[in-house]
Amino acid sequence: MMGAMTDLIPLNRVHLPADAQANIERARRAGRLASGGHFGQACEAWLERQVGCRRALLTGACTHALEMCALLLELQPGDEVIMPSFTFVSTANAFALHGARPVFVDIRPDTLNIDPARIAEAITARTRAIVVVHYAGVACDMDPILALAERHGIPLIEDNAHGLYGEWRGQPLGSFGALATLSFHETKNIACGEGGALLINDPAFVERAHVLRDKGTNRQKFLAGRVAAYTWVDVGSSYGLPELLAAVLLAALEEGPSIQRSRQRVWQTYRRELAGWCAAHRVDMQHIPEGARPPAHLFCLLLPSAERRAAFIRTLREDAIEAAFHYLPLEGSPMAARLGAQRPTCRVSADVSARLVRLPLYAHMAPDDLTRVVDAVRRIDW
Ligand SMILES: *Cc1c(COP(=O)(O)O)cnc(C)c1O
């Protein structure tokens, strides 16, 4: 066991981009600190190029971008939105907040992504949207999902909080759904503390998305010189990202290739160096389907039981390494019960939630620390 002097290797370590300070200073001197300034526009142009979406709109959080999706679809009480049970709260909350009923469906035990067969079973006359989450940035099985959405005329939304830089058959994640969202929360690959983006692929949503982000006003039209004054034209909120955060975000986006190289090195090392140990200990890695190119967002293992996982986390903790479980299935949550959820039916989600563990993964992880994690895992035996 390592001594008390050993520094803790955390699950995540926030990386402040080198140019953040200089960008903040430039924004301060430009004298515009609200959303929609030079840095905000530069981030949006960068995202449009990277993802290939029609429009990217920065928001204060991925949660806000998901709320904008609910507003754009004009969801009514009683409308149903299909989504995985194994996801972050915001995926469901954003739609529940606007009166829709989340319909939770199960994930696949190999990719940990929503199971297209379960989506098909869950579609009813009230289904207004299908929300997919590319867990760890590993692409969902997009072909059957796109076919289902198309056949039933149901808009597809990608909660792509994990998946900037991820791909499916060479096409960027976030470019498949009518709408998609990104997160720049400090736990994500590219971060500015708190932040997000709405990615719009269906051009029919562009104009209203601006209005929703701008407190329900047509201010965007005014700025473009298309109306003489701006006024209240719809509902909305204040969903923009302040300029100082956009200044930090642009620095992070421009550092993206180096952040990604660094994270990929950690992720690939875990895949390679832990493969033998996993095979010998009945531990599974997340299956990466052919065609999926994940962005090294998180690295997880599926241990044989909840007891093994508890012992695994405890043992690494004694070695000053932080490992962590992840989502509790949403269908078993108190809020889902209040919304009328019946007895949980997503058995794979419950099983995965009880056995999954994440290992430390962040940009610029010291090579010695990476070796320490690999060695500590390989020392665990049963
Ligand atoms: C992080 C995350 C969110 C929320 O992102 P914020 O930017 O913190 O609002 C939503 N969905 C998923 C899958 C996430 O991982």
For the chain, domains (ranges, CATH) are 20-254 (3.40.640.10), 256-379 (3.90.1150.10)
Confidence band, pLDDT 50/70/90 cuts, at residue 342: confident
| 164-185 average pLDDT score | 98
- Ligand 1 center–CA 197 separation, angstroms: 11
Q: Does the pLDDT of residue 2 top 60, yes or no?
A: no
Express as a percent the part of the chain with pLDDT over 70: 99
Please report, for residues 9, 21, 190, the alpha-carbon distance to residue 361 in angstroms, rounded to integers and kept in the order given.
10, 25, 13
What is the pLDDT, as a whole number, of residue 340?
84
From the CB of 320, is ligand 1 less than 6 Å away? no
From the CB of 161, is ligand 1 less than 6 Å away? yes
- Ligand 1 center–CA 378 separation, angstroms: 32
Residues 6+ apart with CB under 8 A from 357: 300, 301, 303, 309, 312, 313, 323, 324, 325
What is the pLDDT, as a whole number, of residue 265?
98
| 338-367 average pLDDT score | 94
Say which DSSP state 80 is in: E
Q: Does the pLDDT of residue 328 top 80, yes or no?
A: yes
Say which DSSP state 295 is in: -
From the CB of 131, is ligand 1 less than 6 Å away? no
Q: Does the pLDDT of residue 50 top 90, yes or no?
A: yes
Work out the number of other CB atoms within 10 angstroms of the CB of residue 118: 19
Q: Does the pLDDT of residue 294 top 80, yes or no?
A: yes
Q: Does the pLDDT of residue 227 top 70, yes or no?
A: yes
pTM, whole model, 2 decimals?
0.97
- Ligand 1 center–CA 69 separation, angstroms: 14
Give the integer Cα–Cα distance in Å for 50 and 44: 10
Q: Does the pLDDT of residue 362 top 70, yes or no?
A: yes
From the CB of 88, is ligand 1 less than 6 Å away? yes
Dihedral, CA of residue 96, residue 97, residue 100 and residue 102, to nearest 10: -10
Tell me the pLDDT tens digit for each residue of 88-103. Answer: 999 999 999 999 999 9
Tell me the pLDDT tens digit for each residue of 105-125. Answer: 999 999 999 999 999 999 999
Q: What is the C-alpha end-to-end distance of the chain, expressed in Å?
A: 17
What is the pLDDT, as a whole number, of residue 4?
53
| 221-247 average pLDDT score | 96
Give the integer Cα–Cα distance in Å for 26 and 35: 15
Higher pLDDT, residue 3 or 179: 179
Q: Does the pLDDT of residue 198 top 90, yes or no?
A: yes
| Best probe residue, ligand 1, of 159, 186, 192, 245 (max atoms within 8 Å of C-beta) | 159
| 198-204 average pLDDT score | 98
From the CB of 63, is ligand 1 less than 6 Å away? yes
| 241-268 average pLDDT score | 98
Q: Does the pLDDT of residue 3 top 60, yes or no?
A: no
- Ligand 1 center–CA 24 separation, angstroms: 25
What is the pLDDT, as a whole number, of residue 65?
98
Please report, for residues 84, 104, 159, 163, 335, the alpha-carbon distance to residue 330 in angstroms, rounded to integers and kept in the order given.
8, 8, 15, 21, 8
Please report, for residues 37, 226, 315, 323, the alpha-carbon distance to residue 374 in angstroms, rounded to integers and kept in the order given.
44, 59, 13, 12
What is the pLDDT, as a whole number, of residue 5?
64
From the CB of 159, is ligand 1 less than 6 Å away? yes
Query: Strand, helix or coil at 142?
Result: helix
From the CB of 90, is ligand 1 less than 6 Å away? yes
Q: Does the pLDDT of residue 289 top 80, yes or no?
A: yes
- Closest ligand 1 atom to 196 CA: 7
Q: Which long-range contacts (CB under 8 A, 24 or more apart) does 362-368 make?
A: 362/10, 362/12, 362/13, 362/14, 362/15, 362/263, 362/266, 363/15, 363/189, 363/258, 363/259, 363/262, 363/263, 364/15, 364/262, 365/9, 365/13, 365/262, 365/266
Tell me the pLDDT tens digit for each residue of 75-84. Answer: 999 999 999 9
Q: What is the mean pLDDT of the chain?
A: 96
Confidence band, pLDDT 50/70/90 cuts, at residue 201: very high
Confidence band, pLDDT 50/70/90 cuts, at residue 343: confident
